[in-house]
Amino acid sequence: MRVEVNRASGFRGTFAAPGDKSVSHRAMILAAISRGECRISSLAPGADVRSTAACLAALGVEVRIDRGEAVVRGTGPGGLRAPAGPLDCGNSGTTMRLLSGIVAGAGLPAVLDGDPSLRRRPMRRLLDPLRAMGARARGQGAEVEADERAPLVFEAGARLVGRRHALPVASAQVKSALLLAGLWAVGETVVREPGRSRDHTERMLEAFGVPVSRGEDGAVGVLGPAPPLGVPEAFPVPGDPSSAAFLVGAALLVEGGEATVTGVCANDTRTGFLRVLARMGADVRQVDRGSRGGEPVADLVVRGSPGSLRGTRIEPDEVPSLVDEVPLLAMVAAVARGTTTIRGAAELRVKESDRLSQVARGLAAMGARVRELPDGLEIQGGAPLRGADVDAASDHRIAMSFAVAGLAAHGATRIRGAEWADVSFPGFFSLLAAASGGAVRP
Ligand code: S3P
């Protein structure tokens, strides 16, 4: 699908942020391995979370999704069964990595596979520590390169032992997989990361009755075997800051734009982009709205001020808290006056696409001055953007980022593969069309 985005003369609206994707995956998975029924409301609407639901069903869990609510009847940690065929994780890295922790822990024979984008992503960082705990698992391609890829094959019956892991790169997906596997392992599983990645798994484990240890160095751990003790009857999912970010960005880049995004998860391991936008001179206010599902939530109130934005430096230690927002921040940087430098973001090369190179290519086509660095980007902002043809590269966040840039560009920006937005934010282009008074033609 190709969507055309034109320069917007206004942007106005109040939006309820769609349910958070990271929290939705985790709530379904923890409910699945608990005993009892859990109603998860405001579930993330995209394809990724449906991939997790389908995989859990293939593992013998009763899951129903209806109008934004998932009802999960957990089997308990011993009740999962070996799937009859490969588990299809679709485009979802979180599904593949978190469920690897589950099948390894439960000792189930299983194959985890995904679409061509997911098959390209690095999995040794996950398999090595799982194997160190005793899992028998392998990926593909180890004989030809120093990594392993999906499909991932897990053999039956391995009994895991807790280990202390030091991850070379901060990754909430890998950390979560190891903590989940640690629920079945004998002894303590501890994960230390070089940076602080999102902590939803830790928070939620505690909500499901599993004690989590936290070290001074930021390491987190579980003492296994530790079956979840209780399942909340209702689990309300907070709004997704990573989806909200696109609406915030759209309102910011349109002169006179005014938007409010309500109910956004304001966990500071997720909101690095708001701190960066504040440094760039953006007018974005956070209005505290209490908590949902064990996470703080806030409304984000934005006023468009493209002329007052200025460049900034995004440092490596900030990257884990804004890892999914780098493409959007790059669009804002292209409009802001002065230079923005992003370093320590090499991880972006192994997301749903090589996001550094896709961003650099698309922004250059739009007339921005951008230099691709091995681990980041350097953007000299302020030159007028012009519409261009941009490819989503099978990547939801690339599709949505360039739509935002298109609202600020002169002439038409055509986004090929715009349907990829459905992976995390179905309906995004219709919202954008309505709020921009028709500048977007879905
Ligand atoms: C996620 C973690 C991040 C993020 C992804 C979702 C999660 O990946 O990019 O979109 O839900 O744990 P890593 O922390 O593995 O880099």
Half-sphere exposure of 320 (CA within 13 A, CB side): 17
Any residues with CB less than 8 A from the CB of 338 and at least 6 apart, and which? 310, 311, 380, 381, 382
Q: Are 246 and 1 in contact (CB under 8 A)?
A: no
Single pTM value for the model = 0.98
Cite the DSSP H helix spans in 186-240.
Answer: 200-207
Beta bridge partners of 281: none
Q: Which one of 88, 240, 299, 324 is the catalytic residue?
A: 324
Nearest-CA residue for ligand 1 atom 11 is 22
For the chain, the domains span 2-19+238-441, 21-216
Calculate how far, in angstroms, residue 382's C-alpha sits from the geometric centre of ligand 1: 31
pLDDT in tens, 17-70: 999 999 999 999 999 999 999 999 999 999 999 999 999 999 999 999 999 999
Q: Mean pLDDT, the chain, as a whole number?
A: 97
Q: What is the pLDDT of residues 92-119, one digit of tens each?
A: 999 999 999 999 999 999 999 999 999 9
> Superfamily for 21-216?
Enolpyruvate transferase domain (3.65.10.10)
Say if 2-19+238-441 and 21-216 have the same CATH topology.
Answer: yes
Confirm or reject CATH 3.30.540.10 for domain 2-19+238-441, answering yes or no. no
324 assigned to active site: yes
- With a 6 Å cutoff on the Cβ, whether 171 touches ligand 1 is yes
User: DSSP label at 385?
Assistant: P
Ligand 1 contacts CB of residue 240 (under 6 A): no
pLDDT at 246: 98
The count of other CB atoms within 10 Å of the CB of residue 71 is 15
Longest dimension (CA), the chain: 61
Buried b (16+ CB within 10 A) or exposed e, 289-299: beebbbbbbbb
Q: Which of 192, 190, 146, 202 is nearest to 169 (CA)?
A: 192
Does residue 173 have its Cβ closer than 6 Å to ligand 1? yes
Q: Let me know the angle formed at the C-alpha of 361 by 357 and 364, rounded to the nearest 5 degrees.
A: 135
The string of pLDDT tens digits covering residues 261-313 is 999 999 999 999 999 999 999 999 999 999 999 999 999 999 999 999 999 99
Q: What is the pLDDT of residues 382-394, one digit of tens each?
A: 999 999 999 999 9
Residue 231 banded pLDDT, cuts 50, 70, 90:
confident
pLDDT tens, position by position, 116-145: 999 999 999 999 999 999 999 999 998 888
296: tokens are 């703080």
